[in-house]
Amino acid sequence: MKKTIILLLFIAVMLPARGQSADAEEDLKFGIGAAAGFSTGYGLSFRYWPSDWGIQLTTAPYYMKDDAQVSFGATALRTIKDDGRIKLFLYWGNHILYERYSYYYDPSNNEVNKNTSWISGIGPGFEFTILDKVSFNLMFGIATYTDGDFMINMTGETGLYYKF
């Protein structure tokens, strides 16, 4: 009798778990992880990708008494092709980087410098699903760098996300 009850409990527990796995890939709209890029920002990153269009937000604040640095990135994502394991997409990243730092050449003369940069980049990207809910991203393209001067250059971005 004990074996029958244990067997029935085991079957009852396993059936709902099998029923959920069929649509698990469809429900992975959110992602959280770490990203680093010139035009997408660096630090903790959040993604919301419900359809062909998505958004990625990335930030990393750093503050000390005399020094501070804040990175904030907002990126638009557009899926081109998705076969379930590799996704090809386009991105448009915008990164604001604020820096405040001090020079101590002479203790009586504390020079504080502030710099704000805006970096905007566009290009293709690839999302590789390395585990069921973990993806690795590579993006590259062309970016404009504005911090008083204007420059156009190549850019590279990467990220590692847990999807849910």
Residues 44-58 pLDDT 10s:
999 999 999 999 999
Rounded to an integer, what distance in angstroms lies between the CA atom of residue 103 and that of residue 22?
A: 59
CATH of the domain at 78: 2.40.160.20
Q: Is 4 a member of any domain? A: no
* Rounded (5°) CA angle 60-63-65: 170
DSSP helix/strand/coil, 12: helix
Does the pTM exceed 0.95? no
Task: Tell me what the mean pLDDT of segment 14-25 comes to.
Answer: 47
Q: Is 18 a member of any domain? A: no
Q: Is 63 a member of any domain? A: yes
Query: Residue 130: is it exposed, middle or buried by C-beta count within 10 angstroms (0-12/13-18/19+)?
Result: exposed
Q: Is 138 a member of any domain? A: yes
Q: How many domains, in total, are found in the chain?
A: 1
Helices (H), the chain: 2-20
Q: Is 99 a member of any domain? A: yes
Q: Is 117 a member of any domain? A: yes
Give the pLDDT score at 84. 87
The residue segments making up the domain with residue 50 are 30-163
Q: Which of 39, 26, 131 is nearest to 77 (CA)?
A: 39
**Other CB atoms within 10 A of residue 57 CB:** 16
Rounded to an integer, what distance in angstroms lies between the CA atom of residue 97 and that of residue 26?
A: 35
User: Residue 16 pLDDT more than 50?
Assistant: no
Q: Is 24 a member of any domain? A: no
Rounded to an integer, what distance in angstroms lies between the CA atom of residue 85 and that of residue 132?
A: 9
